[in-house]
Amino acid sequence: MHDPRLKSPAVARNRQPILEVLLEVLPATASVLEVASGSGEHALHFAAAAAGWSWQPSDPNPHALASVAAWREAAGVDNLLEPLQLDVTGEWPSQHFDAVVAINLLHISPWTVTEVLMAGAGKQLAPGGVLFLYGPFQRSGRHTSPSNAAFDADLRARDPRWGIRDLDTVRAEAERHGLVLDRVVTMPANNLSAVFRRA
């Protein structure tokens, strides 16, 4: 029988460090929208670790949605909700959230995705709510490591609209939508966690 659950080696490496940041910046009780949930392994790990978080996974890809649903069914974690089919460039859920989480999204999507992500988070986050971004970033126009520079070149070769974003540019876009950079946390494998709050 076919198992629809997808598995990512990167998730196994980064889910615990990401969780530790989320536990610091999110309240014990929170409604969370995760965009581009992918395999669903992050969603399962985070929801299982924090029973007070109502975790709403989402993705535009049917294979990803099937994977999230299968992980959810296998684990039986009550606060991990049924995944939503959501493209951030389309219509968002109408409810407000305490947090919006996007892991490894900005560099594998056109810049317009970052723009609509900021606009959506600015509208849907409750006051003081958190936008959490994780992935590789440039700092002050420079890559943080040679491996990130090579990764960026590979991304742009695959799709010229992709690429590692500069955190200053991301911050400026966030500020246009009432989101203020609260902290930046250095993560393993030359990644960053960037935490924004709605003013």
Number of structural domains (the chain) is: 1
Task: Identify the DSSP state of 40.
Answer: S
Looking at this protein, which amino acid is placed at residue 35?
V
Interatomic CA distance for residues 14 and 92, integer angstroms: 27
Q: Among the residues of the chain, which ranges form H helices?
A: 9-25, 41-49, 62-75, 111-124, 146-158, 167-175
Note whether residue 147 is domain-resident: no
Backbone angles phi, psi at 176, to 5 degrees: -60, -20
195 within domain boundaries:
no
Among left, alpha and beta (phi > 0; psi -120 to 50; other), residue 104 is: left
pLDDT at residue number 86: 97
Helix (H, G, I), strand (E, B) or coil at 150: helix
Residue type, 116: V
Q: Is residue 130 part of a domain?
A: yes
The verdict on residue 77 lying in a domain is yes
Bridge partners, 183 (sequence order) = 195
- The CATH number that applies at residue 62 is 3.40.50.150
On whether residue 146 sits in a domain, the answer given is: no
**pTM (whole model) above 0.95:** yes
Question: pLDDT tens digit string along 102-132?
Answer: 999 999 999 999 999 999 999 999 999 999 9
The pLDDT > 90 percentage for the chain reads 98
Q: Work out the angle at residue 129's Cα, subtended by the Cα atoms of residues 102 and 19, and round it to the nearest 5 degrees.
A: 50
pLDDT tens across 1-13, in order? 789 999 999 999 9
Q: How high is the pLDDT of residue 1?
A: 73
**Tokens 């949930």 label which residue?**
37
Average pLDDT taken over every residue of the chain: 97
> Tokens in use for 134?
């994780």
Residue 109 in any domain: the answer is: yes
Based on C-alpha coordinates, what's the Rg of the chain? 16
List the domain range (segments joined by +) for residue 91: 9-136
Does a structural domain hold residue 149?
no
Q: Is the pLDDT of residue 162 over 80?
A: yes
Q: Is residue 187 part of a domain?
A: no
